[in-house]
Amino acid sequence: MATEASAKSSDFIKNLGKMYGTYTGGFIAFILLLAVMEQMGVPNKILGYLFVFFTLAVYAIIGVMTRTAEVSEYYVAGRRVPAFYNGMATGADWMSAASFVGMAGTLFLLGYDGLAWVLGWTGGFVLVSILIGPYLRKFGAYTVPDFLSFRYGGNFARALGVIVLVCCSFTYVTAQIYGTGLIASRFLGMNFEIAVFAGLVGILLCAMLGGMRAVTWTQIAQYVVLIIAYLTPIVILSTKKYGIPFPELTYGQAIAEITAREQQMLATGLATVANLKPHIQPFINYSPLNFFAIIMCMMVGTASLPHILMRYFTTPSVREARQSVAWSLLFIFLLYFSAPAYAAFSKLEVYTNIIGRDLTSIRPWLFNWGELGLIQICGKNAANIDAIVAACKAIAGHPGVVRLQDFVINTDVIVLSTPEIAGLPYVISGLVAAGGLAAALSTADGLLLAIANALSHDVYYKMIDPNAPTMRRLTVARALLVVVAVIAAATAATKPADILAMVGWAFSLAMAGNFPALVMGVWWKRTTATGAICGIIAGFGLCLFYLVTTRYFPGAGVAYFGMTSLTNPLTGLPLVDIAKAMALPNAMESFPTLAHPMANKVGWFDLNNIACGLLGTPLGFAVIYVVSLLGKEPSKEMQAYVDDIRKPRGRTVLEERTT
């Protein structure tokens, strides 16, 4: 019986190439079919629905087919996902709605400074591989708190690990569900709240029955969709413009043209030195300190986020865990090194075909987005020609051509509008929507699973009822998954104001809470339980304090903690006049809205609060080091376990009871 099952499973692994190859071919055939249908006159709306429902159905079918009743399958996909496929799954797990839709827009707006995010969200995998991932795989954990608990003396460390995990993952998953709602409502014209709950059903269908096993095999399918969707429009655009289907090579030309056009715009009065941010000029949006602080926090945060680390628990060996990190980054790289091309091509289009154009000959693609309020010209939604002509007439002395200061674009539009800018048929727009959904759903799946697993495995099984039978453990895991998902969707449906900033915060929180304890636990045998616990509390606490104070209690930060205004990186002047702001009646208000003059604009050392991990992490390391040295060295057994973790050969340190 057992041998039959394992023979079946090795067949399954052997056939992966054939299965996913067929699937990819089928997906391309499906795109072509829809393209033909479009030519035959099928309306856009139907094409959009077909795209979304077909892809969702595929994910759901995979999710149901890979359902499982085994604990190790549910938590770590039976530890037999080959390095290459785990890399793909990690790619989808990693790349969120923010990467897919938002990244190119950020680069469009910030130019060079936006590359801090590109660097930060790739370089962290180096740390995953050399410092943490393979060692946790050898340890044999199901969750990150598992390791903390074992290494640092039990349930108190485990509880801290769960708190850090929930803090950084919950806001992150809420942002993904929000992204799902945004994409579905934009492309399918669904009501936002309904779209959020529709997305929720999609996520649950993938994750609930099969846990990690189901999420792994759907994430691979989602990676295929998202990468095809991301690369297709930009490859076609590059081929049309420069005759070479590699946008990553040709956008250098576009950047040169942008730089030339910037000079020309300044010379002809279409832009002023004050409002033009040259695309390649560094450190005009972030000061050098904040630029490098963001890179550091995103990188170290990557190596501390539980939903990423747990992907490397699923490989068959430590060796494959390492190879798998390399594959992951390769698959992620394919998207991230194309994002700046999106930004460059869009910017060139805007600078040459919108700015300086006579109002009446504006390119029609932008009206679709103007209608939704995502593009504004002269302060009004650019819904049609009459609207913008009227809006600009109302501005005294307007020259009748669009100037740079007249034009405002929502960053989400950059990726979504590229198919229209390139003059491609609607089917490509539908494909991009399906890709964005895949990116949001796959990340949401991974995060939800991380949270639900921590609650079911760490809190319920390890802390509340260690004798629970397998069936009950899995039932609890599934029930918690649904509960967490519903809470996250309900939060997303309220459209919380800080949702996007919170994703950045998640990295800093993960970094300050997890990184020092994980790294020291593997690399320094002398680390004691007390040291680690103090370090987690101090590092995570300082980071959380800085975030909460600068965002929600800025008045108190200034009055009691010596915080000062952040400065404008270009001029070096303070962002707010603190003396004046503190004199206002609402100065000491807590939980201020973003409109509060000091919210997110005060701090120590001119450090942006998104990079608060830079304060907490060194403190965490220092506290762990000092407190560990003050205490008694860890037991011989514990040191022997650490030795075991360091050697790939042999059994895992932790052996889970699976039946």
Identity of the residue, 212 or 254, whose beta carbon is nearer to other proteins in the bound complex: 254
- Least spacing, CB of residue 316 vs other proteins, in Å: 9
Distance, in Å, from the CA atom of 306 to the CA atom of 94, rounded to the nearest integer, reads 11
- Least spacing, CB of residue 383 vs other proteins, in Å: 35
Identity of the residue, 137 or 307, whose beta carbon is nearer to other proteins in the bound complex: 137
Identity of the residue, 48 or 247, whose beta carbon is nearer to other proteins in the bound complex: 247
Please, which residues have CB within 8 angstroms of residue 302's CB and are 6 or more apart in sequence? 120, 121, 123, 124, 125, 127, 128, 308, 507
- Least spacing, CB of residue 555 vs other proteins, in Å: 35
Please give the single-letter amino acid code of residue 535. Answer: G
Distance, in Å, from the CA atom of 299 to the CA atom of 288, rounded to the nearest integer, reads 17
Distance, in Å, from the CA atom of 616 to the CA atom of 607, rounded to the nearest integer, reads 13
- Contacts with other proteins by CB under 8 A lie at 112, 115, 118-119, 122-123, 125-127, 129-131, 134, 248-249, 252-253, 255-256, 280, 282, 288, 291-292, 295-296, 299, 317-319, 322-323, 325-326, 329-330, 333, 336-337, 340, 523, 643, 646-649
Name the helix (H) or strand (E) containing 642.
helix 636-646
Question: What does the block give as tokens for 396?
Answer: 């005294």
Question: What does the block give as tokens for 527?
Answer: 């680390």
Identity of the residue, 155 or 259, whose beta carbon is nearer to other proteins in the bound complex: 259
Distance, in Å, from the CA atom of 100 to the CA atom of 229, rounded to the nearest integer, reads 10
- Least spacing, CB of residue 323 vs other proteins, in Å: 5
Residue 631: name the closest of 535, 541, 540 by CA: 535
Identity of the residue, 6 or 22, whose beta carbon is nearer to other proteins in the bound complex: 6
* For the chain, counts of helices (H) and of strands (E): 29, 5
Identity of the residue, 85 or 217, whose beta carbon is nearer to other proteins in the bound complex: 85
Q: Distances from the Cα of 548 to the Cαs of 255, 290, 596, in angstroms?
A: 39, 18, 14
Identity of the residue, 105 or 554, whose beta carbon is nearer to other proteins in the bound complex: 105
Distance, in Å, from the CA atom of 148 to the CA atom of 167, rounded to the nearest integer, reads 16
Identity of the residue, 12 or 523, whose beta carbon is nearer to other proteins in the bound complex: 523
- Least spacing, CB of residue 461 vs other proteins, in Å: 28
- Least spacing, CB of residue 426 vs other proteins, in Å: 30
- Least spacing, CB of residue 131 vs other proteins, in Å: 7
Query: What are φ and ψ of residue 564, in 5° steps?
Result: -125, 170
- Least spacing, CB of residue 610 vs other proteins, in Å: 17
Identity of the residue, 190 or 294, whose beta carbon is nearer to other proteins in the bound complex: 294
Identity of the residue, 113 or 458, whose beta carbon is nearer to other proteins in the bound complex: 113
Identity of the residue, 24 or 317, whose beta carbon is nearer to other proteins in the bound complex: 317
Distance, in Å, from the CA atom of 549 to the CA atom of 590, rounded to the nearest integer, reads 9
Name the helix (H) or strand (E) containing 623.
helix 613-630
- Least spacing, CB of residue 648 vs other proteins, in Å: 5
Asked if residue 339 lies in contact with residue 226, where contact means CB atoms within 8 angstroms, the answer is no
Distance, in Å, from the CA atom of 320 to the CA atom of 330, rounded to the nearest integer, reads 15
Distance, in Å, from the CA atom of 110 to the CA atom of 579, rounded to the nearest integer, reads 30
Name the helix (H) or strand (E) containing 258.
helix 247-267
Asked if residue 514 lies in contact with residue 307, where contact means CB atoms within 8 angstroms, the answer is no
Asked if residue 119 lies in contact with residue 469, where contact means CB atoms within 8 angstroms, the answer is no
